[in-house]
Structure 1
Amino acid sequence: MHYHNFGRTGRPVSNIGFGAWQIGGSWGSVSEEDGRAALHAALDSGINFVDTADVYGDGRSEKIIADVLADRGGQKPFVATKAGRRLNPHTADGYNLENLEAFVDRSLKNLRMERLDLVQLHCPPTEAFYRPEVFEALDALKAKGKIANYGVSVEKVEEALKAIEFPGVASVQIIYNIFRQRPASLFFPEAKRRNIAVIVRVPLASGLLSGKITRETVFDKEDHRNFNRKGDAFDVGETFAGVPFEIALDAVEEVRKHVPRGTGMAAFALRWILMNEAVTVAIPGARNAEQAKANASASDLPVIGADVMAAMEEIYRTRIAPHVHQRW
C-alpha cells in the first residue's frame, strides 16, 4: 500500500481508500455483517482512509464504521463524511450554519467521534459555491472544534474550480475514471498547484469497469443502477458515470483488451486513476471482504505503460466523451 499526504493537512493516507456508500444503501442488499467484514478487510490491507456520508442508509454506514473502529481499537483511520443531502428541499439556502451544525452533530454521534476528520459539502447546488457565507459557516464549525478540516464533493469540474478559491477548502471529491476523464485536463493541475487533496469517487463507473456487468445483469430494485439510470433520484452522472448502459458495455470490452494477463479489470481501472499525480486517494466501494482486498491490491500494481494509457484516452475520446465530456 502506498500513501500520500492529504493535501495541506499533511496527514498520510493510503492512495486506495474505502468508499462506504455500498455498506449504507442504494446498492441492493448488503448485510451489516458483510459491510463490517469488507471494512475490516480494507483496514487489514493497509487502507487508512474511509469515506462515508450521513445519508448513506440514513446513518447506517456511519454507525457500521463506528462499530468496526471500536472493535479494532488502536490508531484510527482518516474518516471523511458528508453533509447537506438531508436537506428537503435541497437548496443553496439550506447550506447555512444552523443546518450544517445539526448535520455535523448527528455525524459526530453516529461515528462516536469528538471531532470529525473531514466534512464535505455533499454535492450542493451550484449556487452554493458562489456564497461565501456557506464556507464561513464551515470555518465557524472548525473554530468550534467540531470539524478538523472541510472540503466539497462536486458533480462538475466548474464547481471544483470555484470551490478551491475559498482558502479553507482542503479537499475536493470528484468523479474520475476511464469513462470520465475531463477533470484531468484543467482541475487536477490547479488542485496540485494549490496542494488540494483530490478524492476520486465512482472510480469503477458503478461497477462497469470491474468487467463483471453484462447486458443480462439484473440489479436489485433498491440498487441505484436500477432506479437512477435516467437521473430520477439524483444526478445521473453518479450511475455508470453518466454513460448510456449499452454504449458503456461496448467500451468495457475495448478496455478489456488492454488489461494485463493476471490482473483484474477493477484493479487495472483503479491503477489507471493513480497514474495521475494529482489524485490523493480513490475510494472504490466493496460489498464484501473479497472485493475490499482486490481493490487494495491496485495500489501495488506496476506502472501502466504509455501505449496502454494512450489506448484508454482513445477509447474515451471516440466512444465515451460525446456522451459525458461537456456535461460534467
Structure 2
Amino acid sequence: MKYTKFPKSEDKISKLGYGAMGLAGWFEDRTQQQMHRSVINALEQGVNFIDTARAYGDSEIILGKALKDWQGEKPFLATKVESLGPDNTRWGIPSQVEETFPKGHIRHSTETSLKKLGIEQIDLLQLHLYWPNWGVSGYWMDELQALKEESKIRFIGISNPDCRCDTALPLVQSGLIDAVQTIFNIFDPTPLDCLVPIAQQNQVAILARCIMDEGGLSGFLTEDTQFSEDDYRKTFFECVPRRMYIKRIDRLKKYVPEYAGSLAALAIKFATHHQGITTALTSMHVEKYANMNIAAMKEAPLPEEVFQEIRQFHRWIRNFYDTKLWDKEAVGGTLSIKENTDA
C-alpha cells in the first residue's frame, strides 16, 4: 500500500480507501458476517482510511462492530451528515441550507454517528451536500466548528453532489474546511483542472470517489448485463446507451497489459497517481474485488505521459442525475435521443 499525509496533520493515509457505501446493501445481498470480514480484510492489507455516511443504511453499525474487533492501529474514519429534503431538489439543483441542514441537525446527525460507530471522536465529518449559494458562513458552519472545538470531530469536509466539482471552491478558499470529496476517475478527471490545484494551495485534502465509475471501468458491463430494480447501478448505467459505454471502455484496452494488469488496475492507478489526491475511495465489501484493487497498488505507477494522455483524451463527463432524479421525457427524452448516436 502507498501512503500520503492528510493535510494539516501528521496522519498517514492510505492512497486507496475503503468506501463503505457497499455496506448499505444497495448493490447486492451480502451477509453481515461477509461485510464485517471485508472491513478486517482491507485493514489487514494496509488500507487505513474508511469513508461512510449517516445515510448509508447500517454501514456505521457494521463498521463500529468491525472496528471493535480490529486489534491493529486505529484507521482514519470519515462519515457524513445526512442531508434532508426531496432527492430531486436536494441533489440535482441548489437547495437552501435551512432545508438541507436545519439548525441542530448537524449536531444531532454527528451524535448519532458517534453512537452507531461506537467511538468518541470522528476523524473527518463531512456535509453530504454543499451548494455555493450557502456561502461560507452561517449557523451550519458554526455548528461544525463547535463540534471541532469540543473534540467530537477532528476535521471538517464536504462532499460534492455530482460531477460539478468546482462548486466546492468557495469553501476550499475560505480556510474553514479540511477536505472535499468529489467524483474523480478516468472518464471525469476535471477536478485536476481547477479543484485539485487550489485545494493543494490551501492544504485541503481531496477524497476521490466513483473512481471505478460504479464498476464500469472494470470492464464488467456487457449488452446483456442485468441489474435488479433495487440495485443502485441500474439507474447509473441507464444514463447513456449501453453500447456507447462499452465503446468507451474498449478504447482503454490498449493500455492493458503494458501499463496495467487489468482495466480495473488501470482505473485504480489513474485515480491514485496525482499527489493532489489524498485518497481514492473504492467499494471493498466484496473481498475478491477488494483484493484485486489493493493488488493494483503494488504495480508500477503509470508513466506520466500515459497518465496525461488518459487525462486529456478519455474524459467523458456524464451526470447520471439527469435520469435518476427527473422523468426521462422531462429532460428531453435523454435515452431515446442518444440511442440513435455513437457519439
2:101 is the counterpart of 1:104: no
> 1:257 corresponds to which residue?
254
> 2:82 corresponds to which residue?
84
Pairing partner for 2:126 from 120, 142, 160 = 120
Pairing partner for 2:270 from 269, 272, 279 = 272
Deviation at 1:263, TM superposition (A): 0.9
1:251-274 Cα shifts (integer Å, max 9, x gaps): 111112212257122122111112
Alignment CA distance shift 1:250-1:47 (3 Å)? same
Alignment CA distance shift 1:43-1:129 (3 Å)? farther
> 1:238 corresponds to which residue?
none
> 2:150 corresponds to which residue?
144
CA distance in 2: counterparts of 1:314 and 1:6, whole angstroms: 28
Pairing partner for 1:169 from 172, 177, 184 = 177
| Residues 38, 289 of structure 1: 8 Å contact kept | yes
Where does structure 1 lack aligned partners over 5 or more consecutive residues? 231-241
2:245 is the counterpart of 1:248: yes
Where does structure 2 lack aligned partners over 5 or more consecutive residues? 91-95, 323-343
Runs of 4+ more than 6 Å apart: none
SS in 1 for 2:170: helix
> 2:335 corresponds to which residue?
none
CA distance in 2: counterparts of 1:168 and 1:314, whole angstroms: 32
Structure 1 length-normalised TM = 0.87
Alignment CA distance shift 1:298-1:227 (3 Å)? same
CA distance in 2: counterparts of 1:259 and 1:71, whole angstroms: 39
**Corresponding residue pairs, total:** 308
1:194-214 Cα shifts (integer Å, max 9, x gaps): 111110000000000111121
SS in 2 for 1:290: helix
Alignment CA distance shift 1:249-1:287 (3 Å)? farther
1:178-201 Cα shifts (integer Å, max 9, x gaps): 010111011111111111111000
Considering only CA atoms, is the larger Rg found in Structure 1 or Structure 2? 2
SS in 1 for 2:282: coil
Alignment CA distance shift 1:246-1:301 (3 Å)? same
Deviation at 1:97, TM superposition (A): 4.5
Alignment CA distance shift 1:30-1:220 (3 Å)? farther
| Residues 178, 204 of structure 2: 8 Å contact kept | yes
> 2:38 corresponds to which residue?
38
AA partner of residue 16 (structure 2): I
SS in 2 for 1:55: coil
Q: CA RMSD in A?
A: 2.1
Q: Which moved more, 1:261-270 or 1:69-78?
A: 261-270
**Greater relative contact order (Cα 8 A, min sep 6): structure 1 or 2?**
1
> 1:11 corresponds to which residue?
11
> 2:47 corresponds to which residue?
47
> 2:210 corresponds to which residue?
202
CA distance in 1: counterparts of 2:237 and 2:270, whole angstroms: 25
AA partner of residue 246 (structure 2): L
Structure 2 length-normalised TM = 0.83
CA distance in 2: counterparts of 1:133 and 1:164, whole angstroms: 18
Aligned-residue identity in percent:
28
2:285 is the counterpart of 1:284: no
